[in-house]
Structure 1
Amino acid sequence: MTAVDLPAVPRVLIAEADPWSQDLLKQVLLAVRCDARLDVCADGQQAATLLRDKPYDLILADWELPVIDGLDLLRAVRQQRRTPPLPFILLSSRNDSASVREALPLAPTAYLTKPLNMQALTQRLQDLLLNEGESVYCEVPALAPGMTLPGFLEQRREASDGAPLRVDVQAAVQHSLGPDGLDLKRLEEQVRTDPQITAVLIAAANSAGHHGAPVQTLHAALHTLAPGQSMNLILGLALKHNVVLGDPVLAAYAERYWQLSQDTADYALLLAHLLELDRERCYSAGILHQLGDLALLRSLEDWRRGGGELDDKAIGESLDTFGAAFGSSLRARWRLPLELRQLIAASYSLEGGVYARDALAVNLAAQMARLTEHEGLEALADGKTARLLKIGLSELTRIRKRPVG
């Protein structure tokens, strides 16, 4: 089938069990055809039901689907003997010749192995969904009549895509590629300051496709995921809308929250080193603790682009009212490990009468990060957290002056 056979707005079915791979496929497809109507499912039985109920113009399905696998799904589609054949891209982690020979008689439009080659996938989608030289532009949808800012944010709280990106992901990946492929150590150095990348990779490493102890740090996430998968997830984030804030006021707010996250993470790292705690875990909690406020700013950009009015007062009130709720919703929806979520929560307050030392360290780090340059450390040294950790003014002073490296 060629692009001219397609309707004005193509309908595409994505069948993929892993939620982060689902999201990546959606972003790549929408980057090619932002107007496409997408149906997404997690197993072959759901896909077969959708195929009976709706006409599709393209299917992307993983071979390793539960219930009915992608190869059987392709077999059922080919038995319908549609003319021309329905385009079907089969995705698989199997790259052996026997698997390829098994799939080829069913004439998949493409057989792409995981981790996906993003350039190859994009080119295939362009060939199938666009005429040569064609591109599709989608306007930002206007706000619904009568929509208020609190009502809009309440809706977005459960559907937020997370924070804007702090790091230029294309440059980060490019700097991490060497003659032997992706250098994970270099990639970690490039992206460890970005809360969104950190959260997504940790969440993906804890998804259904990976087993073992909960992953709570960026370092562990990069070594749990395949290098190609990590690279694809990071590059996929750049395809999402509003990953770079266009409003200078919102961008300035984001810069302040990024710096607060970075300072908290750096202090947590130094305190953990001093107290012989898990440094990377404490760093992760610090870098992630403002994720909700940053995600809220990204939603405010959507509000502004949809025609909503925005001023400093509205931004401040929105952050005070919804920032924490956005963070809690994201951490739960992305299924970040409970232990990490509890450590992040410790940056705001300590609950209960018995405190873990890493929670105390993160709490103290957050307090240090919130101090202005003109405020001294005496009150912190006399405070409950420092006393429980048995850290005095001299130690806090050294930590405040010491660069992280």
Structure 2
Amino acid sequence: MWRKLLSPVVVGRTALHWRKLFTMQLKTSDFQCLFTEGLTGLADIFQKNNFELRIAGGAVRDLLSGKRPEDVDFATTATPEEMKSMFQAAGIRMINNKGETHGTITARIHNENFEVTTLRVDVTTDGRHAEVEFTTNWQQDAERRDLTINSMFLGLDGTLYDYFKGYEDLKNHNVRFVGSAEQRIKEDYLRILRYFRFSSGTNDHESETLAAIKENSHGLAGIAGERIWVELKKLLIYELGLAQYIGLPPDGDFAELQRVWENSKHHSPKPMTVLAALFHSPEEVEKMDRRLKVSKEEKTLALFLVKYRYELHKDSEQPCSIKPFTDFIIDSKELDTQMKMCELLKYQGEERLLNELCRWSSPRFPVSGHDLRRMGVTSGKDIGATLQKLRDIWKKSHYQMDKEELLSYIES
């Protein structure tokens, strides 16, 4: 199966110190499509300066899985200072170099950004941050990575370099930490969430790995909320007592979360739409926000869903119509209410209503305060009350009445 996916391939094995290095040649169309004018220019600079440059991490995993990666990171034997020197000599602009202390330089070539990181080893770690030293040893860099499937490198000639059986694990759908699970977790507790993100869809967990996760789950309490939220948006977890450390309610409704996911998974729900299922009250949403520091849009969406998820159909005279939802949108003063309502219908699993609402365009109410003043309604209070009365009549007409018809309801 995999030989067909990667065809043509040539497989070989060489030794590197105490590990067995597995190599093969990758020549897929997705790999070839990476070679833009910008990447070709980047490769030429490193080759001319006698430094190795390889694709690293998740992009390698995606390419081996038959996917075209959205983001491509690179690793190199050149130090940050050496990279800056050769980029400057080539007239290449460098941007966003906040990661330089950890070995990352971002070069902009032919309107593309390329993030390149020096090979490194962790000298000290505290579960959140690491002090690193640079190295030219590819295996040492692979050894500090989280999972075997993320520890592979891909040369720009298509050669795969795999030190920890990552390719074999990828083929067999195994998710394993590189080396000791406990050691990898203690280096960065966020790896607990990453483990579950990559192992979702499989129940084949090694007992030693789960024990290490449970023993070290308290470490998530010290992780910055922003970092947790980045992972949480990619995977929603509620196992092994992690919730209390990452801003989720300890008694969150996991059954509801599973139900909402089944309802919405084919309609590209926003991460917060699914996450909202865990919350019982607005107070729990506020607590989550204080811990994770989500965006204003995400917070207001969660509050909206928690408040209205069971209400808009309640006591409706038209329970199978989008009318209650469109009326709500018409009355709302918020610009993003239609988006929120679509997410609500995803949450509820109302596929037909969702499709209708996605096609619906909000009509403009045809009467203004200026129209009323011309008819002699001058009090601000009376104008507001009259506009609301006419709006209600307009809604009952399914937004069909025009200005003249509506103004005819005003007593002369």
- TM-score for the superposition, normalised by structure 2: 0.27
More helix by share: 1
- The structure with the larger Rg is 2
- TM-score for the superposition, normalised by structure 1: 0.27
Question: Which fold has the larger relative contact order, with Cα–Cα distance below 8 Å and residues 6 or more apart in sequence?
Answer: 1
